[in-house]
Chain A
Amino acid sequence: GQQVMQIPQYQHVQEGEDFTTYCNSSTTLSNIQWYKQRPGGHPVFLIQLVKSGEVKKQKRLTFQFGEAKKNSSLHITATQTTDVGTYFCAGQDGGSQGNLIFGKGTKLSVKP
């Protein structure tokens, strides 16, 4: 079945450093979504990418969808303590059910 691999599992950075998390799917995706879960909270939708090669920005966050629509990345520039949390990618295949498959997440900690 479809799998979505996400790396790294953990990332510790100094405040001000950049951070990137990567997702790879075993199959071509119709779209990929990114979620953020703050400590003790629930996942909250950040963005959805649909087009091959798509790049979207939200302030210091840059999201990319690969040309083959099998991989994606989230890059945070100059991390802040408010960026702390777990970031999940979730891929939706183009099959009949189109269920979202979540990666295992990258837990980001930021040292002030």
Chain B
Amino acid sequence: EAQVTQNPRYLITVTGKKLTVTCSQNMNHEYMSWYRQDPGLGLRQIYYSMNVEVTDKGDVPEGYKVSRKEKRNFPLILESPSPNQTSLYFCASSSTGRNEKLFFGSGTQLSVL
């Protein structure tokens, strides 16, 4: 089944403790992206990747890192999480990123205490 898999589904952590949210897609998509969703603010893009080893900042990249060493994986790294990064995170992918629909993962609800 074609899908985008995110883990974990829920995560509670403390300020400053490094964490990684994994994202994997099995559709051989070139384009992958991370979004955060906050009430009243919609979906805001954090980082995106047009292909392996190519990543770019989105609208809200501060405090986040990403890597794209393999086509299927696009982990989101929070080196030193802070409470303002408490949010619902979605990974998404599409074939090329241009005029293509996005497939979303199920989301990761992160709470930083």
User: A residues near B, CB below 8 A?
Assistant: 6, 9, 30-31, 33, 35, 41-45, 48, 50, 88, 90, 92, 97-105
Given contacts A48-B99, A48-B101, A102-B44, 14 further A-B pairs with CB under 8 A are A6-B42, A9-B40, A33-B102, A43-B102, A43-B104, A44-B104, A88-B42, A92-B98, A98-B97, A99-B58, A100-B102, A104-B40, A104-B41, A105-B43
> Within 8 Å CB of A9, what residues of B?
40
> Within 8 Å CB of B81, what residues of A?
none
Knowing A42-B107, A88-B43, A104-B40 are in contact, say whether A99-B48 is a contact too (CB < 8 A). yes
Query: Separation in Å of the B56 CB from the closest CB of chain A?
Result: 7
Knowing A97-B56, A99-B48, A104-B41 are in contact, say whether A43-B90 is a contact too (CB < 8 A). yes
> Within 8 Å CB of B58, what residues of A?
99
Interface size on B, residues (CB 8 A): 22
Cα distance, A30 to B98, chains bound together (Å) = 10
Query: Separation in Å of the A23 CB from the closest CB of chain B?
Result: 11
Cα distance, A100 to B97, chains bound together (Å) = 8
* Residue from the set B45, B48, B98 with the largest chain A CB neighbour count within 10 Å: B98
Q: A33's contact among B40, B98, B101, B106, by CB below 8 Å, is which?
A: B101
The 10 tightest CB contacts between A and B, nearest first, are: A104-B42, A45-B101, A42-B104, A102-B43, A98-B98, A105-B42, A43-B104, A42-B107, A102-B42, A42-B106
Query: Separation in Å of the B39 CB from the closest CB of chain A?
Result: 10
Cα distance, A26 to B18, chains bound together (Å) = 38
User: B residues near A, CB below 8 A?
Assistant: 35, 40-45, 48, 56, 58, 90, 92, 97-99, 101-107
Describe A's contact surface by its main secondary structure. strand
> Within 8 Å CB of B107, what residues of A?
42
Cα distance, A75 to B107, chains bound together (Å) = 27
Interchain Cβ contacts under 8 Å between A and B, 16 examples: A33-B102, A35-B102, A42-B104, A43-B102, A45-B101, A48-B101, A50-B99, A88-B42, A92-B98, A98-B97, A98-B98, A98-B99, A99-B48, A99-B97, A100-B102, A102-B35
